[in-house]
A = this chain, B = another copy of it.
Amino acid sequence: MANRLFEALSITHPIIQAPMAGGITTAELVIAVSEAGGLGMIGAGYLNAESTRNQIQEVKAGTDKSFGINLFVPNPYKEEEDVIHRAQVSLQPFLEKLGSSGAESEFLSYEQTLGIFLEQVKVVIQEKVPVCSFTFGIPSSDVIHFLKQAGVYTIGTATTLAEAQAIEAAGMDAVVLQGSEAGGHRGNFLAEVEQSMIGLMALIPQTVDKVNIPVIAAGGIMDRRGVKAARCLGAQAAQLGTAFLTCKESGANPLHKQAILEGQQVDKTTLTKAFSGKAARGIENDFIREMREVETELPDFPIQNTLTKPIRSAAAQNNDRNMMSLWCGQNPNLAEPITAKELVHKLVDEE
């Protein structure tokens, strides 16, 4: 089984670099991971078709090894003026603190988002990307069909056994199990967020007993011990986000890296919808705390994400990490500021 996944992914080590969206997965990072024998992954969730193609070509220019890409599956959402207005009112004080006027937000409709997604899929096929994973749901059977016909290895993301079974039933090749430990956005699409918070110690064995496609474990894995534990539980590979985020090649904001590396955040990651409208785990800061009371009334993803963009940009410019999204899993204490190659080797070396 393990060999089946390794062969399919053309990797030497059972290590996948999580496709973190928003500029973290630079071509440099993806190339370094794939060159080291793991699978580098482009986080294309927020990219348009052109940027997606550019990043793929950049990676292909830097390595002959296998690599992958992740796309966000669009889910229907509504643009409700009153909800958006209330969110804008609650965001105004942050803009003022940051001395930002806040750009006029332009919202894409669900249909536009879906259009971009389908263009991205076309680019993935045209550029012959070896591996394509999905988050926030299962793409249509047409999309899966065309990808598989083009020889692309497809991977879904599940947070529960039922979601993994749905991914298998849809004909996808493998499944990433996202444990409750994971940083960044929750990938739940059948379960409610609360029901999706299952630790890997429980989630992996109950899933591998019931699905036949290879399982990749994600969430809180930071070193060799975690990789081995995930494999003991029945996973065939580990996908790591936070550990790669602090690597030298990662494009994460230096303040984001620093917040994780300070390593005092161990009890302090939390789930929040405040940045994007969808639950995600990050290091708690002022923005998360102050937005908590309106969290249930925010617009859907990705509307809220569009609304907070000027805040996140101004915060980055002002070096104010209290209003940035500091995505992070539950194990930041083990993060190191090393190269991706060093990390891959540390993850698999037997001492």
Contacts and interface: CB of A to CB of B under 8 A. Distances in A.
B206 A334 contact: yes
B202 A220 contact: yes
A333 B199 CA distance: 14
Given A229-B229, A333-B206, A179 B161 contact: no
Interface in A216-237: 217, 219-223, 225-226, 228-230, 232-234
Contact of A205 (B202, B210, B331): B331
Interface stretch (A19-27, A113-121, A264-272): A264-272
Interface string A276-292: 00000000000000000
Contacts of A233: 225-226, 229
A226 B201 contact: yes
A181 B199 contact: yes
Interface size bracket, A side: 35 or more
Given A160-B266, A266-B161, A225 B205 contact: yes
Interface string A167-206: 0000000000001110000000001001101111111111
A99 B209 CA distance: 43
Contacts of A222: 202, 205
A194 B209 CA distance: 30
A82 to B, nearest CB: 25
Contacts of A229: 201, 228-230, 232-233
B199 A219 contact: yes
Nearest to A162: B267
How many subunits of this chain does the assembly comprise?
A: 2
Contact of A195 (B195, B223, B267, B329): B267
Contact of A225 (B198, B203, B232): B232
A197 B180 contact: yes
Contact of A330 (B191, B203, B329): B203
Contacts of A228: 229, 232
Interface string A86-99: 00000000000000
Contact of A329 (B179, B200, B202): B202
A161 B225 contact: no
Contacts of A267: 160-162, 191, 195, 198
26 contacts: A161-B266, A162-B267, A179-B201, A180-B197, A181-B199, A181-B201, A195-B267, A197-B197, A198-B267, A199-B199, A199-B220, A200-B200, A200-B201, A201-B219, A201-B221, A201-B331, A202-B222, A202-B331, A205-B225, A205-B331, A206-B331, A209-B333, A229-B229, A229-B232, A229-B233, A232-B232
Interface of A: 160-162, 179-181, 191, 194-195, 197-206, 209-210, 217, 219-223, 225-226, 228-230, 232-234, 266-268, 270, 329-331, 333-334
Q: Which 8 A-B pairs have the closest CB atoms?
A: A202-B220, A199-B199, A202-B330, A202-B331, A181-B199, A229-B229, A229-B232, A201-B220
